[in-house]
Structure 1
Amino acid sequence: MGDPAQQVRDWLDSYDTPHACVATLLCDRHPPDTVALTEVDADMRTRDLTYGELATRSRRLASGLADLGVGPGVRVATLMSTGHDLVVTMLAIWRLGAVSVPLFTALAPSAIAHRLDHSATHVVVCDAEHREKITAAGITATETRIVVAARQRSCPDEVLLSELEQAPRAETPPVAVGGTAPFILLYTPGPVGYPRAVPVPVRALAAFHAYLVYGLDVDGDDVYWNTTDPGWSYGLYFGVVAPLLAGAGTVQLRAGFDAELTLDVLASLGVTNLAAAPTVYRALRASVKSLPPEVAPRRLSSAGEPLTPDVAAWAQDVFGVPIRDHYGQPELGICLGAGNHPEVAVEPAPGSAGIPLPGWRVGVIEPGTETEAAPGDLGQVAVDVPNSPLAWFTGYAEPARGDVTAVQRFSPSGRWYITGDTGRCDTSGQVYLASRDHDVIVTSGYRVSPFEVESLLLGHPAVLEAAVYGLADEIAGQLVAVKVVLQQGWSASVELEEQLRSVVRRGVGEHAEPRQVDVVTRLPRNASGKIQRGRVRRL
């Protein structure tokens, strides 16, 4: 492929231009007969969508969305399961120069309402199975146009996706928005405050393409599957956007996670390149005794949380190839890790998160300064922005109403993007992580903000104080757990525990539900009154 640094420059020259058009880059320039997406149902039925079919369907849908007022810069949310309809809808949005607002389908109605309100979404497209969440979120068709992928309307004001796609209309030409314009607005939980809105510019395509090639080593002969839900950054950037950008085929499973089903997909489709969160590998280890001969991936990758040595050793033994661990954030994509591509492959040292991938420079700086820490010294993991041509994040969208939490992501001069994680760097450039993004809990690959869960629990009349933390789990990696101090007159009970779990399910979603609720008499605090989470677990 040539010099990686030159290849990065070539991608930037293609994607960071005033004439960059997302629909052209992700679809129209590719051979029409090439398969873009293979959709797999829970019963293992498969359906292919070619780039030609994707172009035709997205053009028709774009014309229909244009009649609803969608155009450059307009925000369109999707609350949809993986598969053809989701990808067609996203391409139609980008064809119009509009901004996609992906919503994780497990979100609670109140969390959906917050995102739709904050993003000033003009149109929301949802599956029939998720339509009730839109109603429960208080969204009406008089405020936001509602498009449903269903056979018939549930109310007269909503629009059917099939009608928009199939009605004869003049074709709307694709819009070139340029490299600096956002094409995605992605919400991501942080350790404090409300979920943050990350505007993803078109120029970020260069970073996504680079990771697909150098991190994942996806090539033209691969059957590639990223198991992460596209409501989250890893599944969106590298399960939808990057494969389409490269003209590669990708797999999407329309079913909840199940280890045996995952094994069936790997075998029946002959997946050769698998990218998944560590929880997927842990679940496979817990249920799979031996692999059928049809399962023979040449590349395995992991991201979202650190991969433990025991899981890595198991995968090497069972699959015969190593899992390459990768590090990143929604604001970056993936910037660090053990690349799978032969041109960048470096064997990581024990405990190392790897080295910066092409187009990135990652270092460790002394806390509160812009000075790089000495090798071996603990500090803040940070991206050297001027020396990272693939860095694209410049700041969050405007804060939500009532969110007074300041998020400082850049050093005073702007040179360093501060990840919020701590670690150290050795003399060879390998980075070792000590802690991830303060207190964020990663459970089954999903990021949960302790602050968001605590805020909901404190709204219950029984709760005086609450401290949410991660509880180690062999499969999920972490489970959400909470210690609560009750108001006078309340006492612990099974009924109260279920009420508290229900508050979180309704407020955030099932993925954030506390799996362990303990009542305590007090919470440990430091001299300034801040909860000491490291001690909460030991209560």
Structure 2
Amino acid sequence: MFDALTVREPLAPAVLLCDRHPADSVAFTVIEQDLSATDLTYGELQESSERAAAALARLGVRRGDRVATLMGKSGNLVTVLLGLWRLGAVHVPLFTAFATPAISVRLSTSGARVVVADGNQLDKVVPLVSELGLTVLASGPAPDSAPEIPDWEQLLSAEQAGMPAVVLNPEDLLVEIFTSGTTGAPKGVPVPMQALEAFSAYFHHGLDVQEQDVFWNAADPGWAYGLYYGILAPLAAGRRNLLLRGGFSAKLCWQVLERFGVTNFAAAPTIFRSLRAEAPDGVGPLALQRASSAGEPLDAETIEWATRCLGTAVRDHYGQTEMGMCIVNGWEETVSREIRPGSMGHALPGYRTEVLALEEDTAAAPGEKGRVAIDVPASPLMWFRGYTDNPEKTAERYSSDGRWYFTGDTGARDADGYTYFSARDDDVIIMAGYRIGPFEVESVLATHPEVAESAVIGVPDELRGERLEAYVVLRSGTGSPELAAELQQLVKTQYAAHAYPRAVHFVDELPKTPSGKLQRFLLRASRSASESEPPVNA
């Protein structure tokens, strides 16, 4: 039976997420790279989060303050989050692959003044201490270059348990997470307490995580899917999730699935494709009963392979940072329907979705492409109200009467109500489930003295779904492999290690409208239509 959360009156987030569950129940199993594991119970998390709240309060953190984490999956991460939510502070997640400039933008925009970072991430934030007035705490051993950074675990050990949890209104914030778009800086998405209802609904109807399940959401908590459904939703439901520390590999993923008897698995399509590409010989029968994918469309070949080799189909789900998952091929028996390859499924209970005609706010005919939209008044789980301090970008997401929220994606709906993803109507690139705004990469490329302008596009990639390629106009001269490598390294160090262009094309000019607007869609069309001059690769 679905124990629905009610977050429509003032409540304490720590009670919802931690304190209300049996103290001896396991909340998370933290798995190391050697497959050793440690269980964290709700009782242990309540005690450690009370001390974490006391430590943060001693640093001056108060209700509504922003606290950022630059941390991988770990028990320390969960303790930090529960501690700051116990105070009513707001979590700002930072992806560990980000470089210092990308981190700086998110910290300065959110106003975060406290950052908890893994020891191997400290070198990225220490240079920002004076510039942004930061207090930085080290989770794990600090490098020699950061000898004076306070140790988070030592701060915890100095505090006593017993810090009470503040009571928040439904509209008070738990998280401020950033999402990238076509132009401009990343946009802050405020996530209020009431969003827990929506996260719990997907956790139940979409993923169907049951009490006896061994659940594993493999997504990174620096991004929405990993945070919403790997941390928040399992805590709210009192279900255990596995947290695999360190880097991903297909071999290790296979080992975790087998060793820990995972029965319910959620991950990006890239992970399923990696498992398919590196399937080991002689792997034992898996316990897997349900598998789910999100972040980008799932191809039919992977669905067929999973059914045959994993013992279960992979059901595709659709959502956004701004709302979580809203269209699903749900596993729970009351919403489960046949899988139609290429389809995102049907609206999650609590949402009403529609495919609108491209030129007007009326339903498109079955099979016709249109704008995927949410009927806001008819969707009680719709919690997004707008980007932080960005009314212009917020207005772009809504119809003039406020009824429709436009996802920015196009799709089609068949006569049976199945929704099919077609394309994004902006230029955001989704690579291995990560949303990458081309503007951020282009802004980094523009800092190179030889670059006059550039355009970054997504190109189909069998493993990642999409990969980045850059088209670069130089101020003078011609491109070279050495310059291409230099530009790739520049993006790695100034934006994010995962978001560098896999190929660099040096061109004389970029396609633009008469008003000068970049037409990335023409580059994509040209790239897919012909194998022209090869890129200059590093």
TM range (shorter): over 0.9
- Match of 2:498, SS state, is helix
Residue 424 of structure 1 pairs with residue 412 of structure 2: yes
Residue 96 of structure 1 pairs with residue 87 of structure 2: yes
Alignment counterpart, residue 408 of structure 1, candidates 387, 396, 415: 396
Q: 1:472: how far off? A: 1.7
Q: 1:506: how far off? A: 2.0
> Could you tell me which residue of structure 1 aligns to residue 467 of structure 2?
479
AA partner of residue 458 (structure 2)? G
> Could you tell me which residue of structure 2 aligns to residue 204 of structure 1?
195
> Could you tell me which residue of structure 2 aligns to residue 436 of structure 1?
424
Indicate if the aligned counterparts of 1:76 and 1:101 stay in contact, CA closer than 8 A: yes
Change (3 A) 1:291 1:142: same
Residue 74 of structure 1 pairs with residue 65 of structure 2: yes
Q: Distance in 1 between matches of 2:225 and 2:447?
A: 32
Indicate if the aligned counterparts of 1:72 and 1:177 stay in contact, CA closer than 8 A: no
Q: 1:467: how far off? A: 1.5
Moved more, 359-368 or 112-121: 359-368
- Deviation by residue 1:198-229 (Cα, 9 ceiling, x = unmatched): 00000000000010111001000011111110
Residue 264 of structure 1 pairs with residue 276 of structure 2: no
Indicate if the aligned counterparts of 1:278 and 1:302 stay in contact, CA closer than 8 A: yes
Q: 1:484: how far off? A: 1.1
Indicate if the aligned counterparts of 1:76 and 1:98 stay in contact, CA closer than 8 A: yes
Q: Distance in 2 between matches of 1:291 and 1:64?
A: 49
- Deviation by residue 1:117-172 (Cα, 9 ceiling, x = unmatched): 11111211111111111123x22498121111235796576322112211144732
Change (3 A) 1:294 1:269: farther
**TM-score (norm. length: structure 1):** 0.93
> Could you tell me which residue of structure 2 aligns to residue 110 of structure 1?
101
Q: 1:528: how far off? A: 4.1
- Deviation by residue 1:392-436 (Cα, 9 ceiling, x = unmatched): 00001114xxx9867611111111110000112223221122103
Residue 511 of structure 1 pairs with residue 498 of structure 2: yes
> Could you tell me which residue of structure 1 aligns to residue 220 of structure 2?
229
> Could you tell me which residue of structure 1 aligns to residue 530 of structure 2?
none
AA partner of residue 410 (structure 2)? T
- Deviation by residue 1:12-53 (Cα, 9 ceiling, x = unmatched): xx21212x2111101000001011111111111111111111
Change (3 A) 1:368 1:173: farther
Residue 496 of structure 1 pairs with residue 490 of structure 2: no
AA partner of residue 458 (structure 1)? A
> Could you tell me which residue of structure 2 aligns to residue 16 of structure 1?
8
- Deviation by residue 1:321-354 (Cα, 9 ceiling, x = unmatched): 1100000000110000210111110113343221
**TM-score (norm. length: structure 2):** 0.94
Alignment counterpart, residue 367 of structure 1, candidates 358, 374, 399: 358
- Match of 1:133, SS state, is helix
Q: 1:291: how far off? A: 6.2
Residue 335 of structure 1 pairs with residue 330 of structure 2: no
RMSD over aligned Cα atoms: 2.0
Alignment counterpart, residue 448 of structure 2, candidates 460, 463, 468: 460
Q: Distance in 2 between matches of 1:230 and 1:491?
A: 42
- Match of 1:36, SS state, is strand
Q: 1:358: how far off? A: 0.8
- Counting aligned pairs with the same residue, the percent is 45
Alignment counterpart, residue 367 of structure 2, candidates 355, 368, 376: 376
- Match of 1:353, SS state, is strand
Indicate if the aligned counterparts of 1:17 and 1:179 stay in contact, CA closer than 8 A: yes
Change (3 A) 1:33 1:119: same
- Deviation by residue 1:442-480 (Cα, 9 ceiling, x = unmatched): 112211111111122122221222111112221111111
Q: Distance in 1 between matches of 2:130 and 2:384?
A: 33
Indicate if the aligned counterparts of 2:118 and 2:139 stay in contact, CA closer than 8 A: yes
Change (3 A) 1:142 1:260: closer
Q: Distance in 2 between matches of 1:117 and 1:473?
A: 34
Q: Distance in 2 between matches of 1:275 and 1:419?
A: 23
> Could you tell me which residue of structure 1 aligns to residue 535 of structure 2?
none
Alignment counterpart, residue 218 of structure 1, candidates 209, 213, 217: 209
> Could you tell me which residue of structure 1 aligns to residue 511 of structure 2?
524
Indicate if the aligned counterparts of 2:445 and 2:451 stay in contact, CA closer than 8 A: yes
- Match of 2:138, SS state, is strand
Moved more, 140-149 or 245-254: 140-149
Change (3 A) 1:241 1:437: farther
Indicate if the aligned counterparts of 2:47 and 2:162 stay in contact, CA closer than 8 A: no
Alignment counterpart, residue 321 of structure 1, candidates 312, 320, 327: 312
- In the alignment, structure 1 segments of 5+ residues that lack a partner are none
Residue 246 of structure 1 pairs with residue 233 of structure 2: no
Indicate if the aligned counterparts of 1:291 and 1:318 stay in contact, CA closer than 8 A: no
- Match of 1:461, SS state, is coil
Alignment counterpart, residue 23 of structure 2, candidates 21, 24, 32: 32
Indicate if the aligned counterparts of 2:122 and 2:142 stay in contact, CA closer than 8 A: no
AA partner of residue 485 (structure 1)? V
Change (3 A) 1:107 1:152: closer
Residue 150 of structure 1 pairs with residue 150 of structure 2: no
Q: 1:296: how far off? A: 2.4
AA partner of residue 517 (structure 1)? V
